[in-house]
Amino acid sequence: MALATEQFILNLGPVHPSTHGVFRMRVTLDGEIIQDVDPIFGYLHRGVEKLFEQRTYKQNIPLSDRLDYVSAINNNWPYVMAVEQLAGIQVPQRAEYLRVIMGELQRIASHLLAVGSVMNDMGVFFTAFMYMFREREKIIDLLEMVTGQRLLYNYMRFGGVSQDIPTEFLPALTKFLKTMPGYLDEYDRMLAGNEILLARTKGIGVLKPQSAVNSSTSGPVLRGSGIKWDIRKAAPYSVYDRFEFDIPTGENGDCYDRYRVRMEEMRQSLRIIKQAMEQMPAGKEKTPTPLRLRPPAGETYAQIESPRGMLGCYLVSDGTEKPYRCHFRAPAFINLTVLRELLIGQKLADAIIIFGSIDLSMGEVDR
């Protein structure tokens, strides 16, 4: 006798420990196989783009921190770059190097959180996470030394950065650069052959290169599928054309490859920081700009490679002291376009890992 079955609708989230914020997936299940997914956005929508239109250019810098609170420094960057392009502000060389060093430190911190929290989702409960946080703490100490803050740094300014590094920073950074590769090796020993990790990520959530491109994904999601595309190489901004580094890519586009790409990117970031430290010239950290900056009317687009992908800022000025329109191309928001495709046909338990492997912070997704 055949069992009578019917589809089952399950709400994952909005408050669920593995949603990395407040995100809801309305999942239609057949047994434990996902038949359909309706991702529901907007629980953290604060109308940031509208708020930008109501504040002066300078008042908006701290708001841009709050887009992606896991990598605040990287979020300042496209916004100040866009304003600098519009207003024709020159950035001193030293400031460019400081931006690169701080931005890459932030990338490592962000990737550590991404990898650690996916391990949590997998059921390697808090062991891996705490190892990752041990090093993340050291990075945050470094950032605190420079900016005085530990989460939202409000570090960049038009024409430079808010303050130069203190004398104790470079010795502390040198020590960090010496010890960090050893810790990354430790993670590899702990995780790369870990049976839980392999069983839960190999061949799970496979994203074909073609659909990764067609869905406009970027960052480790795109590179995990084998597409060698990184803004730091493809359209170098700031001083990235002066550093030697590789773009790690995956082969199969599964969750494991996305994890590998992030681990490898941390090593590349260390390489960049080391070169930036050696090349950094003396000089001013900031070009003075008027408090009430009025860029000439016009529009521009600035983009960087944030830990999550291509982060862009489209800015329109009408010549007044407030932006006329400011739009952020949020990489995590656009990466989530593939979520439905990745989840259909997978098991419910894998949905959590696939979602985590995209790596997002809801502040940026909902804006």
Partner 1 sequence: MTTTLNSSDMAARLKAQFGSGVTPTADYLEVTPALLPGVAEYLKNTPELDFDFLDMVTAADYGDRFELIYRLLSLKNNLLVSLKVRCDRSRPSVPSLAGLWYGATNQEREIYDLLGIEFSGHPDLRRIVLWEGYQGHPLRKDFKDKVYGAGD
Among 215, 225, 306, 361, which residue sits at the site for partner 1 (rule: CB under 8 A)?
215
Tell whether residue 47 is a contact of partner 1 (CB under 8 A): yes
Minimum distance from CB of 366 to partner 1 (Å)? 6
User: Which residue bears the tokens 């860029």?
Assistant: 295
Quote the radius of gyration of the chain (alpha carbons, Å).
21
Closer CB to partner 1, 191 or 354, in the complex: 354
Contact stretch for partner 1 (CB under 8 A) within 90-98, 193-201, 209-217, 288-296: 209-217
Window 324-343: contact mask with partner 1 (x via CB under 8 A): xx-x-x---xx-xxx-----
- Per DSSP, 338 falls in state G
In angstroms, give the least distance from the CB of 312 to partner 1: 6
Burial of 182 (0-12, 13-18, 19+ CB in 10 A): exposed
**Alpha helices of the chain — where are they, by DSSP H?**
48-53, 60-65, 72-87, 93-122, 127-147, 169-191, 195-201, 209-214, 220-224, 231-234, 255-279, 331-335, 339-343, 348-358, 362-366
The single residue listed with the structure tokens 């950065």 is 161
**Maximum separation of any 2 CA atoms in the chain, in Å:** 82
| Residues 295-314 contacting partner 1, CB under 8 A | 299, 301, 310, 312, 314
Instruction: Please state the closest distance from residue 233 (CB atom) to partner 1, in A.
Output: 9
- # binding residues, partner 1 (CB under 8 A): 36
CB of 119 to partner 1, least distance (A): 28
Could you say whether residue 261 binds partner 1 (CB under 8 A)? no
Q: In the bound complex, what is the minimum distance in angstroms from residue 118's beta carbon to partner 1?
A: 22
Q: Tell me: does residue 214 bind partner 1 (CB under 8 A).
A: yes
Interface with partner 1, residue 227, by CB under 8 A? yes
Query: What is the Cα–Cα distance from 139 to 299, expressed in whole angstroms?
Result: 36
Instruction: Enter the tokens of residue 186.
Output: 């430790």
Among the listed residues 78, 83, 69, 149, the one whose alpha carbon sits nearest the alpha carbon of residue 367: 69
Interacting residue with partner 1 among 8, 17, 33, 54 (CB under 8 A): 54
Contacts of residue 330, Cβ cutoff 8 Å, sequence gap at least 6: 67, 68, 311, 364, 365, 367
Write out the DSSP string of 13-81.
-SB-GGGSSB-EEEEEEETTEEEEEEEE--TT---HHHHHHTS-TTTHHHHHHTTSTTSHHHHHHHHHH
Residue nearer to partner 1 on the CB measure, 27 or 338: 338
CB of 299 vs partner 1, minimal distance in Å: 8
| Amino acid occupying residue 215 | S
Q: Is 63 exposed, middle or buried (0-12, 13-18, 19+ CB in 10 A)?
A: buried
7 binds partner 1 (CB under 8 A): no
Closest separation between CB of residue 301 and partner 1, Å? Answer: 7
Residues between 12 and 41 that touch partner 1 (CB under 8 A): 41
- Candidate residues 15, 170, 234, 349; the one interacting with partner 1 per rule CB under 8 A: 234
Candidate list 7, 11, 17, 50; residue touching partner 1; CB under 8 A: 50
Tell which one of 64, 75, 154, 217 touches partner 1 (CB under 8 A).
217
Q: In whole angstroms, how close is the CB of 147 to partner 1 at the nearest point?
A: 29
Of 26-34, 42-50, 263-271, 352-360, which part binds partner 1 (CB under 8 A)?
42-50
Name the site residues for partner 1 (rule: CB under 8 A).
41-42, 45, 47, 49-51, 54, 211, 213-217, 227, 229, 234-236, 299, 301, 310, 312, 314, 316, 324-325, 327, 329, 333-334, 336-338, 366-367
